[in-house]
Chain A
Amino acid sequence: MNQTPNSETIREQGAQRPMLNVEVSAHGTTSNIKHRASNIFWRILGLIIAGIFIYAGAIKALDPVHFASDIDNYKILPWPICVALAFYLPWLEIFCGFALVVRSLYRGALSILTALILVFTLATVAAKVRGLDITCGCFGHASQNWSFPAHLATNLAILAALLALSFQSAARRQIAN
Chain B
Amino acid sequence: MKTPIVAFALSIIISLSARAELKWEQTTVELHPTAADKQAVGHFKYQNPGKTPVHFKSVHASCGCTTAQTQKDEVPPGGTGEITATFNIGDRTGTQVKTVTVETDEATNQKTVLTLRTIIPEQLEINPRLVFWKQGDKPDPKAITVKVGKDFTVKHIKVTSSSPDFQTKVEEKGNGEFKIDVQPQETKNVIASTLTIQPEDSQKVFYATARITNSPVVQ
Contacts and interface: CB of A to CB of B under 8 A. Distances in A.
On whether A and B touch (CB less than 8 Å), the answer reads yes
Interface of A: 66, 141, 144-145
Contacts, number: 6
A66 B219 contact: yes
B219 A145 contact: no
Contacts of A144: 218-219
Interface in B144-158: none
Contacts of B218: 141, 144-145
Interface of B: 218-219
A145 B218 CA distance: 9
A141 B219 CA distance: 7
B130 to A, nearest CB: 20
Nearest to A140: B219
Contacts of B219: 66, 141, 144
6 contacts: A66-B219, A141-B218, A141-B219, A144-B218, A144-B219, A145-B218
Ranked nearest first, the 6 interchain pairs of A and B with the lowest CB-CB distance are A144-B218, A141-B219, A141-B218, A66-B219, A145-B218, A144-B219
Contacts of A141: 218-219
A79 to B, nearest CB: 19
A66 B219 CA distance: 9
A119 B168 CA distance: 49
B134 to A, nearest CB: 14
A66 B218 CA distance: 12
B178 to A, nearest CB: 31
A106 to B, nearest CB: 36
A167 to B, nearest CB: 39
B216 to A, nearest CB: 10
Nearest to A145: B218
B214 to A, nearest CB: 16
A144 B218 CA distance: 8
Contacts of A145: 218
A145 B217 CA distance: 12
Nearest to B219: A141
A145 B219 CA distance: 11
A141 B218 CA distance: 8
B217 to A, nearest CB: 11
Contacts of A66: 219
A59 to B, nearest CB: 13
A133 to B, nearest CB: 12
A10 B190 CA distance: 72
B48 to A, nearest CB: 54
Nearest to A144: B218
A77 B28 CA distance: 45
A19 B219 CA distance: 47
